Structure 1
Amino acid sequence: MEVKINREIRNYTESMFFGLSMRQFIFSILAVVIAVALYFLLKPAVGMEAVSWMCILGAVPFAAMGFITYHGMTAEQFIWAWLRSEMIEPREIIFEPVNLYYEALKSKIKEHESEGIKRS
């Protein structure tokens, strides 16, 4: 008898419905609801081919949010982190290089330059 265990235990997700985790299942259902709503709202206004593309484009972000992780963050955690770093709390980082070698020898360099002026 063999029991499979993930190498990284933190990556374990329990399958709830149809082999999907609860999060994936909820976002999949949400994507289907969005696609159906777009179909019925847009079918009278535009042609069938355009409606099908709009349904796909409307459902993809919600379906992706259930499956995508980035650096261990879920999609909404990533979106919140991006909003905080780019919109809410943006910081301008200024780089000012420091020559440590020059700073350490500044007094000697000035002493050497003053000696060169006295000699001439």
Structure 2
Amino acid sequence: MEVKINREIRDYTESLFFGLSLRQFFFSVLAVGVAIGLYFGLRGRFGLETLSWMCILGAAPCAALGFISYHGMTAEQLLWAYVKSEFLLPRRFVFYSTNVYVEALKKNMHSYEQERMKRHD
């Protein structure tokens, strides 16, 4: 008897249907549905070989969504991270240095300078 143990506990997925997780099973069924829909929707317009390639190309993105994982992110999380980094967040970061000590003592420094000026006059 052999028990498979993942190196990382976060990599654990529970198998529900046919050895697939619920997410993988759902997107697999969706891919089959898209392929069937494309077949019946386009079978009168194209030949069998072209139609089979269209079904494969139409179902591949749906199937990939269930199986793709990059740096621990699902396909939706990866897409959202891409949209945020490319379109929503600024591309150029500008750094303005501030001297915290000068900012904290600015009021005292101003009063010190005024007293010093009064003494010189």
Scaled to the shorter chain, the TM-score interval is: 0.7 to 0.9
Q: Name the structure 2 match of 1:38.
A: 38
Aligned counterparts of 1:3 and 1:45: Cα–Cα separation in 2: 51
**Where does the alignment leave 5 or more consecutive residues of structure 2 unmatched?**
95-121
- Equivalent residues in 2 for 1:65-104, closer than 5 Å: 65-93=65-93
Deviation at 1:91, TM superposition (A): 1.5
Structure-2 separation of matches of 1:43 and 1:59: 16
CA deviations over 1:45-79 (Å, ceiling 9, x no partner): 11111110000000001101111101110001001
Gaps of 5+ in 1: 95-120
Q: Structure 1 residues 90 and 49 mapped into 2: Cα distance closer, same or farther (>3 Å)?
A: farther
The residue number in structure 2 matching 1:15 is: 15
Q: Which residue of 2 aligns with 1:27?
A: 27
1:32, 1:50 → 2: CA distance?
Answer: 17
Q: TM-score, with normalisation over the residues of structure 2? A: 0.72
Whole-angstrom CA distance in 2 between matches of 1:43 and 1:93:
53
| d(CA) in 1 for partners of 2:3, 2:78 | 33
Q: Could you tell me how far 1:30 is from its partner in structure 2?
A: 0.3
Say which SS state the counterpart of residue 46 (structure 1) adopts: coil
TM (norm. structure 1) is 0.72
Output one character per residue of 1:91-120: Cα deviation in whole Å (capped at 9) or x when no partner: 1357xxxxxxxxxxxxxxxxxxxxxxxxxx
Which aligned segments of 4 or more residues in structure 1 are displaced greater than 6 angstroms? none
Could you say what the CA RMSD is over the residues aligned between the two structures, in angstroms? 1.8
Distance 2:70 2:28 in 1: 19
Q: CA deviation at 1:88?
A: 2.7
Identity of aligned residues (%): 66
**C-alpha distance 43-71 of structure 1, shift in aligned 2 (>3 A):** same
| Aligned-residue offset at 1:7 | 1.9
Q: Aligned pairs, how many?
A: 95
